[in-house]
Structure 1
Amino acid sequence: MIQIPQDMTEVKVKIAQLEELGHKSNEKQVVFDAIQDNAQAILDEQLEGHYDSCTLDNDKITIYETPEKPIGSVKSQGASFEEDFRKNANNMFIYLQQEISKVINQR
């Protein structure tokens, strides 16, 4: 089972897998979860553990040191991260790695 989709092909496979298990899902939500989960995975990898968290809000990912303390954010390259993911997920992830690194290194 695909845990975190890396592109639109994997999104479609994940939706089919979820439906096979009896779970309702839609493409927009699976894409949203994929972007947020991949951003969190990038953040965890760069910090070598789960120390900070991030949230996705359409065209911005905000990184938090604590739930009340944001340390920075990353804006999407296009109109939204969903659009960026659908257009070219690999390029979006490369961009996220670079930008999340900048946020982490500025503190």
Structure 2
Amino acid sequence: MDVKGVLGSISFDGEWITITKKEVGKQARNFRLRAADVTGTRLKPATRLFHGYVQFLVPGAQVAAESKSMFSGGRPPYSDEHSLSIPHKSNDSAAKLVAAVEQARASR
């Protein structure tokens, strides 16, 4: 299951969540999380004007707060390795991915 994000993607294979971030002119960075280690998820659907985001909460990591600037539209900063901004066209696939992660968490 894959979600195309803004400058990156999220994939989930039933056990592992992989967040890939690719900044322009830089090497792609992968962040991996086990679904069993996730304590919560946050999904803010995108609108036609602003990107949304998917964020995974893990123990021991500080939750990145939403930026309130006009350009970020209430998303966590790009440097947060546990979240990824999503465009409007990815809302459905992001909701399905979050539901699958929540189901995997519940079955552990």
More helix by share: 1
Q: Same fold (TM over 0.5)?
A: no
Asked which structure has the greater CA Rg, the reply is 1
Give the TM-score, by structure 2 length: 0.31
